[in-house]
Amino acid sequence: MKRTILFVFIAMLAASACVKEPLAVETTEESSQEAPVDAILTSFTATAEGAVTKTDLYGNDAEGYAVRWREWDAIHVTDAAGNTGTYRALAGGEITTSFTIKGSSNVNTSRPPFIAYYPETIREAARIWPSEQDYMDDGVVPLLKTVPMRGLAESIVRDEENVFNITTDFTFKNLGGLIRLNLKSTTPGTTVGKIILSADEGMSGPFNIAADGLTAEIESGTGDVTLYVVNVSHGFAVSLSSEPKPFYIAVPAGTYNNLKVTVVQDNMSAQTKTAKVPIVVERSKITDITLTFNDFALETTNLSASATANCYVVGRAGSYKFRADVAGNGAADLSGISKTISSVNSAELLWATIETQSPPGNTQLIRNVRYSDGFVFFDTGVKYIEGNALIAVKDASSNILWSWHIWFESDDLEALRQRFGSNVVFMDRNLGAIENYHRTDYYFDFGMYYEWGRKDPFPHQVNSSRTQTVARRGSRTTTTLESLSLAGTIANPTAVSSGGISGATWDTDSKNIFDPCPPGWKVPKPIQFTAQIAGKGVWQSGVGATITYGGHTAWYPAAGAFAHGSTNYYHQGEGAYLYTTTSAYSRSFDLSSSLYGSMQDKDSYWACSVRCVKEFEP
């Protein structure tokens, strides 16, 4: 059964909460004139035209659901001159509430006609139907933060002084409808972590407004919609029973063929059901679908299926495993270190970071780290997040036998690779970096630090002269300083060496068991930076450098270095230092304000960045 939900409002605009009462809306010649430039719209009142409004669902009577404004609801407004402003609701739970400018700046949105969108993340210049939506507690009273609406106001009325106080009517209308999934299960313990909707037609992404001015039309593609049910902060999931549990997902109006509903449990097991008939979703209406889910299956991706390594890249949410009996890439034994790992008793998360000041919760980045039948297993959070983690296997006496870097990176590193020279292909970012460009909020482009010849990374951190630091979470979040042998680096992957490590080496023509790069990639030789040296770097003060060669522009962040016989960070914002395989003293490719790209001297116990190259490339 379908219930109509009317999202129609009248919004009255005023200069501020303390000005004179605005004049009533009148159809006059003056009302269509432009407001003076100094008429700054800072607040307005949204009032329902009928008995229902946006955005909390209440009750269920013959007229449908009452839908009311929620405190902190925000909309984005654009006027005829292209000026924009974001406004938030001061109170919720009522049909009428006041909105005020969001933020400290007064944005000039005073030239009609006005176009507004809810939620405020949608812009007139960039209309994106949200592919990610959030479930809130208790079935019929979800906070529908992501049901897009469009409001239009074509005229204004100014106050008697013809300066500050302006009034207009906004009429908001839904751009789509709701699919209400009524989910059941007769299997005890069934939970819902997220729900994915997909079809032959696009359900999310960039959209246009149809000729009727009321309907969103996805531009192209078949983007799906994911409803996240697990709370990222607290990790709860919703349980299913034999009684239907409603889940609401907002989609553009239209006919959807081969609609697929995938329910993913909190433990990452999943089941998919496909509609046998086209599903029609009407604007401002609820389309009910009732389904029973009992037969869940867990698909675990084997990261070591094609090759083993000391680093594995995870690009999406799911359950994963890798071999725990092979050291690195399983190359010949080196420096007395066996390529075979034996006597494994358990697996442990040593640390995890999402490159921000707040450490990740285990439900966010990585969780359920465990050892079984020769493999290390782990799960991501139900909602995928980018970052880095270090996992170790231990014997029955809790001694660390080996450890692996897990790089949570959603970009397609193969597609973004950069060719420098006839047969040299680099990654487009440092090993462990989340971005391949500078961002001002955090240092997502830094990547990890590596003492020369060691397989295990150290998370980047900002020195005491900076205000931002990177936080870690795990059993070994403290970096210690120790005099380490080669075997000691394996047993103490979070310890910094206070001096050179005898036998630790990347100095081989082929990839060896200590190489820190993912399968198919390795630490570059010095000669492989020849094209970058010829290309000459362009330094950006305090940020990093770019080098353009052969149609590619590579970004080298000024990540500086770590350690150097201590637990300090050096030269962040001053230089980019990238290690090579040579054991000679001039082992790093450096860029700075005075170095345009050249090989420079480094002690082996400096910890620098690594930019991996393809292991085999014609």
pLDDT higher than threshold 50 for residue 27: no
Structure tokens at 237: 């999931």
Say whether 471 sits in a helix, a strand or coil.
coil
Considering the chain, what percentage of its residues have pLDDT values greater than 70?
79
Q: Give strand ranges (E) for 282-345.
A: 286-292, 300-302, 311-314, 319-323
Find out whether 87 and 75 touch, Cβ atoms under 8 Å: yes
Counting DSSP H helices and E strands in the chain, the numbers are: 2, 51
Say whether 29 sits in a helix, a strand or coil.
coil
pLDDT digits (tens, 9 = 90+) for 172-221: 788 888 898 999 999 999 999 999 999 999 999 999 999 888 889 999 87
> pLDDT: is 344 or 31 the higher one?
344
- Where is 532: in which H helix or E strand? helix 530-535
User: Picking from 71-85, 388-402, 426-440, which range would have the lowest pLDDT averaged per residue?
Assistant: 71-85
pLDDT higher than threshold 70 for residue 26: no
Q: What's the rounded Cα separation, in Å, for the pair 578 and 560?
A: 9
Q: In what order do the strands lie in the sheet with 286-292?
A: 245-252, 176-184, 286-292
Place of tokens 């029609």: 280
Q: What's the rounded Cα separation, in Å, for the pair 220 and 125?
A: 17
Pairing of strands 575-579, 588-592: antiparallel
**Residue 359 CB contacts under 8 Å (≥ 6 apart), including other chains:** 352, 353, 471, 472, 473, 477
Q: How confident is the model at residue 290 (pLDDT cuts 50, 70, 90)?
A: very high
Task: Please report the pLDDT score of residue 488 as a whole number.
Answer: 93
Q: What's the rounded Cα separation, in Å, for the pair 594 and 605?
A: 24
Among residues 208, 253, 285, which one has the least CA distance to residue 7?
A: 285
Whether the domain at 177-292 and the domain at 300-408 fall into the same CATH topology = yes
Q: Average pLDDT for residues 3-31, to the nearest whole number?
A: 26
Among residues 582, 447, 430, 432, which one has the least CA distance to residue 506?
A: 582
DSSP bridge partners of 247: 181
> pLDDT: is 441 or 239 the higher one?
239
pLDDT higher than threshold 50 for residue 10: no
Q: Average pLDDT for residues 253-267, to the nearest whole number?
A: 95
Task: Please report the pLDDT score of residue 303 as a whole number.
Answer: 98
Q: What's the rounded Cα separation, in Å, for the pair 299 and 296?
A: 10
The CATH fold of domain 300-408: Immunoglobulin-like (2.60.40)
Task: Please report the pLDDT score of residue 167 as a whole number.
Answer: 56
Task: Please report the pLDDT score of residue 24 as a whole number.
Answer: 19
Say whether 487 sits in a helix, a strand or coil.
helix
Find out whether 608 and 579 touch, Cβ atoms under 8 Å: yes
Helices marked H in 150-287: none
Q: Average pLDDT for residues 44-48, to the nearest whole number?
A: 44
Q: Is CATH 2.60.40.2630 the classification given to domain 177-292?
A: yes
Q: Average pLDDT for residues 601-608, to the nearest whole number?
A: 92
Q: What's the rounded Cα separation, in Å, for the pair 193 and 186?
A: 17
pLDDT higher than threshold 80 for residue 310: yes
pLDDT higher than threshold 80 for residue 557: yes
The mean pLDDT of the chain is: 82
- Where is 450: in which H helix or E strand? strand 450-451
Q: Average pLDDT for residues 570-590, to the nearest whole number?
A: 93
- The one-letter code for the residue type at 593 is S
Annotate 30-73 with DSSP letters as a single string. GGGSPPPTT----EEEEEESSS--SSEEEEEETTEEEEE--TT-
Q: Whats the size of the chain, residue-wise?
A: 618
Return the DSSP state at 21.
Answer: P
Q: How confident is the model at residue 231 (pLDDT cuts 50, 70, 90)?
A: low
Task: Please report the pLDDT score of residue 159 as a whole number.
Answer: 57
pLDDT higher than threshold 60 for residue 5: no
Q: How confident is the model at residue 387 (pLDDT cuts 50, 70, 90)?
A: very high
- Phi and psi for 479 in degrees, rounded to 5? -90, 125
The CA-based angle 475-479-483, given to 5 degrees, is 120
pLDDT higher than threshold 50 for residue 95: yes
Task: For residue 563, give Cα distances in angstroms to 144, 180, 453.
Answer: 49, 55, 14
- The one-letter code for the residue type at 618 is P
> Hey, where are the domains in the chain?
9-174, 177-292, 300-408, 418-614
> pLDDT: is 36 or 530 the higher one?
530
> pLDDT: is 66 or 358 the higher one?
358
Annotate 254-293 with DSSP letters as a single string. EEESS-EEEEE-TTS-EEEEE-SS-EEE-TTBEEEEEEE-
Q: Average pLDDT for residues 21-44, to the nearest whole number?
A: 30
Q: Average pLDDT for residues 21-29, to the nearest whole number?
A: 21
pLDDT digits (tens, 9 = 90+) for 532-554: 998 889 999 989 999 998 788 99
Q: How confident is the model at residue 63 (pLDDT cuts 50, 70, 90)?
A: low
**Residue 200 CB contacts under 8 Å (≥ 6 apart), including other chains:** 222, 256, 257, 258
Task: Please report the pLDDT score of residue 74 as a whole number.
Answer: 85
Say whether 528 sits in a helix, a strand or coil.
helix
pLDDT digits (tens, 9 = 90+) for 406-415: 999 999 999 9
Task: Please report the pLDDT score of residue 523 as a whole number.
Answer: 97
Task: For residue 347, give Cα distances in angstroms to 155, 212, 355, 391, 398.
Answer: 66, 59, 23, 7, 10
Evaluate the omega torsion of the peptide bond into residue 246 and state whether it is cis, within 30 degrees of 0: no
Task: Please report the pLDDT score of residue 146 as a whole number.
Answer: 56
Q: What's the rounded Cα separation, in Å, for the pair 73 and 124?
A: 18
Task: Please report the pLDDT score of residue 141 as a whole number.
Answer: 39
Task: Please report the pLDDT score of residue 34 as a whole number.
Answer: 32
Task: Please report the pLDDT score of residue 190 as a whole number.
Answer: 95
DSSP bridge partners of 600: 588
- The one-letter code for the residue type at 31 is S
Task: Please report the pLDDT score of residue 57 as a whole number.
Answer: 54
User: Picking from 226-240, 447-461, 473-487, which range would have the lowest pLDDT averaged per residue?
Assistant: 226-240
User: How many of the other CB atoms lie within 10 Å of CB of 200?
Assistant: 12
Task: Please report the pLDDT score of residue 607 as a whole number.
Answer: 93
Task: Please report the pLDDT score of residue 73 as a whole number.
Answer: 82
User: How many of the other CB atoms lie within 10 Å of CB of 169?
Assistant: 20
Q: Average pLDDT for residues 232-241, to the nearest whole number?
A: 74
